[in-house]
């Protein structure tokens, strides 16, 4: 039996609880049945506003109960474990799920990582949603889920189009470029980055991969801050972050949480870094999402 601590804040009330997750050898009755709804899966290529290829993965529920867009982070892909976990949770609830690789990442879409910016990450999300509006499965309002860069892109979209969003889940989200420079990830060497023009990091997702970004990436990021218009996020909002996150730490998530005017939750996963890969952490996130989706759907019937 695995026990894992989670610090949870729901609508301003602190709950510190110990969650219980069975290990692989423990048998706890019959395996839960998956929904009987059938899904079709299609990989679709569309073009963004620049004419670049974006590869979209559509998992369409035959008896669709909702729609969700799931957005990966900087240098991520639609196939990362945590992105798949978000998607699988919504599939279990019989939602049609849209995942895609933004341009300028390491997935199947066009572009190179060195050209990645928040401006383009957001634009690609916007273009995917515009494409989706012409499809027969499209519905509003929909859920929007994003991790890190995908989180801030999702928030920016929601602040611009709050009427389209049923509920929002910015996970380990970037809050602003200014706050990014204050994190352990950047604060000690950002001046060198600015002077030399380049920053080089090892990939957390793919061992052996080196990632390089020009200073223009940060210059672009510094133009963004989601806090001034966070009061527009009146829909239910779910925030999750690891307590070992060095890029988007819990104290940054708390700044966002305090600004949110509606139903809101903040979960801090003990021992988890920025990118969730540990199976116990993913199990916790899945359980949190399942409960949250059920609550949102019940309250909005």
Which pLDDT score, from 0 to 100, does residue 202 have?
A: 79
**What class does CATH assign to 2-25+34-299?**
alpha beta
Q: What is the mean pLDDT of residues 136-147?
A: 98
Position 76 pLDDT exceeds 70: yes
Looking at residues 88-110, what average pLDDT do you find? Answer: 97
Contact 41, 112 (CB under 8 A): no
pLDDT tens for each residue of 157-204: 999 999 999 999 999 999 999 999 999 889 888 999 999 999 998 776
Nearest to 54 by CA among 43, 69, 41, 40: 43
Cβ atoms < 10 Å from Cβ of 180: 22
Domain boundaries, the chain: 2-25+34-299
* DSSP 8-state symbol, 63: T
Percent of the chain residues topping a pLDDT of 90? 80
Burial of 88 from C-beta contacts in 10 A (0-12 / 13-18 / 19+)? middle
pLDDT for residue 201: 84
Residue 128 Ramachandran class (φ > 0 left, ψ -120 to 50 alpha, else beta): alpha
Question: Of how many residues is the chain composed?
Answer: 301
């Amino acid at each position: 039996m695995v026990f894992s601590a989670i610090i949870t804040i729901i609508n301003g009330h602190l709950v510190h609880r110990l969650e219980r997750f069975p290990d692989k050898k423990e048998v706890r009755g019959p395996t839960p049945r998956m929904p009987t709804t059938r899904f079709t899966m299609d990989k679709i290529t569309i073009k963004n506003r620049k004419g670049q290829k974006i590869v979209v993965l559509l998992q369409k529920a035959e008896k669709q109960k909702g729609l969700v867009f799931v957005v990966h982070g900087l240098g991520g892909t639609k196939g990362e474990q945590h992105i798949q976990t978000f998607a699988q949770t919504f599939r279990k609830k019989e939602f049609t799920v849209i995942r895609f690789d933004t341009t300028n990442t390491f997935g199947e879409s066009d572009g190179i990582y060195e050209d990645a910016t928040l401006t383009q990450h957001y634009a690609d999300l916007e273009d995917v949603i515009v494409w989706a509006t012409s499809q027969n499965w499209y519905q509003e309002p929909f859920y929007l889920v994003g991790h890190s860069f995908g989180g801030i892109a999702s928030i920016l979209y929601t602040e611009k189009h709050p009427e389209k969003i049923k509920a929002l889940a910015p996970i380990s989200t970037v809050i602003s470029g200014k706050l990014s420079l204050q994190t352990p990830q950047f604060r000690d060497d950002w001046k060198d980055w600015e002077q030399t023009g380049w920053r080089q990091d090892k990939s957390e997702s793919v061992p052996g991969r080196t990632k390089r970004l020009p200073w223009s990436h940060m210059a672009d990021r510094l133009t963004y801050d989601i806090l001034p218009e966070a009061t527009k996020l009146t829909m239910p909002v779910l925030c999750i972050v690891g307590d070992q996150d060095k890029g988007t730490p819990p104290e940054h998530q708390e700044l966002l949480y305090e600004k949110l005017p509606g139903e809101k939750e903040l979960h801090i996963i003990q021992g988890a870094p920025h990118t969730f890969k540990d199976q116990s952490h993913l199990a916790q996130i899945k359980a949190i999402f399942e409960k949250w989706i059920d609550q949102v759907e019940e309250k909005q019937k």
